[in-house]
Amino acid sequence: MALAAGMQPSRVTEIAKGKRKVTNVEVLERICAGLGIPAHLMGLGRAPVAVDLPPASVPDTPVSAELDTRELPGVIAAISVGAIPEDIGRFLPQPTAVVLPERLTTDNIDAVTAITEVHRRMDAVIGGGSCLQSAVAYANWATQLQGIPSGSEAWSQELRTALADLHSLIGWMAHDLLLNSLARQHLLQSLILAEGAGQLSANVLYRLGRTSLQEGRPQDALHQFGLGQLTAQQAGCHASVIILHNNSAWAHAILDREDQVRDSLARADAERGLADPDTVPAWARFALVEADKHGIAAVVLSALARHPGRGRYAALAVENAACAVALRQPDTERRSLAFDVISASLGHLLIEDPDVAAEQALAAVGMAGDGLRSRRVVSRLDDLWDTASPSARYHDGLAEFGRRLRALHNDIDDDRPDG
């Protein structure tokens, strides 16, 4: 039930036992959509008029009823005042069986690629919650294209690669909502489809590692990053190697391995000079973006600076976070910008500058509440609060950050995400 409704299992249990009431309309809509509950039973609309519709297994080319134009004014007027005619079904679109092309063409493959790219942009701007369900729905249809005749084996392989990219993106969006079991399902599906596409396989292994890292298992993440590095190197994809070295540095920082952190960051920089921007695949382009270079460095260095005796790295984290924030495009990189501002706030806390830390923290929680649908951002804000809360006792700005963060949790009808 939790998976279907996009909620945490603990929250579903509390609702089922009557320990929590759901008042957020968006959450009610998710429950309706996920569990197939008619909206009016949840207080979200008027009960529908019973309409006899044809079964789903109608012919592929349905026959639409001819609408007598003399009836049209009355039908429109009735609908406008909420008096739906009992026979309205004969004027509405009829359900059809799934229709697939007779043969696979490059146009079909291009469509999968284009729709994946649209979802990729939406995810980057607003977060995985903005388009996860639509991507899953499209993938359910597009996956069936594998069952139709193909003009060539090369086209079949191109389709598998396009579908692998789509499933990888779905896995990443699920991870952004902290639905990590769902994320792994789609990432593993992508890994199977991507067989023979080494660059894409490396990207999937990176995303599997990030899922492990978010769950507090850096050793597992390092194993997956290592497999990804080997795959990326064999495929000659320098951009993927950059991504994997940078994220390995993050895992090493969590484990307080200073030498390995420095080595991984240096290896990433060395690969940067070898990458050709004109041949980088869509899913790895961010590796060559200057803002992302500083953004991941800020995350890594602040993670290292939290360990005893590593405080000197905090100033470097602040410097990199400031560069990342300055370089971001707010209209197209809202989620990444929020992560950078959080890194800046954490860095200022670590160098004992609570005034600027509070200013940045309030800015970040404001971004999260302004239409950004990413549970990872909220989880990172929770992590920031863990560091800020002791100082909030005597600093009004940090105390206000705590209050706004609690209000944000109330707005999304969820407590701190697990992990």
Angle at 41 between CA 37 and CA 44, to 5 degrees: 95
Q: Is the pLDDT confidence value at 130 over 50?
A: yes
Task: Give the SS3 label for residue 185.
Answer: helix
Q: Is the pLDDT confidence value at 48 over 50?
A: no
**pLDDT tens digits, residue range 51-91?**
343 343 334 444 445 556 777 778 777 777 777 778 777 77
Per-residue confidence (pLDDT) for residue 67, from 0 to 100: 59
| Token pair belonging to 193 | 């489809």
Per-residue confidence (pLDDT) for residue 404, from 0 to 100: 94
Structural domain boundaries of the chain? 1-48, 298-419
Q: Is the pLDDT confidence value at 320 over 70?
A: yes
What angle do helix axes 290-305 and 258-272 make, rounded to 10 degrees? 170
Confidence label for 227 from pLDDT (cuts 50, 70 and 90): very high
Query: Distance of CA 307 to CAs 207, 353, 354, 381, Å?
Result: 26, 18, 19, 19
CB 146 within 8 A of CB 102: no
CB 335 within 8 A of CB 127: yes
Mean pLDDT over the full length of the chain: 84
| Token pair belonging to 141 | 């249809």
Q: What average pLDDT does this structure show over 164-180?
A: 93
| Token pair belonging to 93 | 């679109």
How far is 94 from 229, CA to CA, in rounded Å? Answer: 50
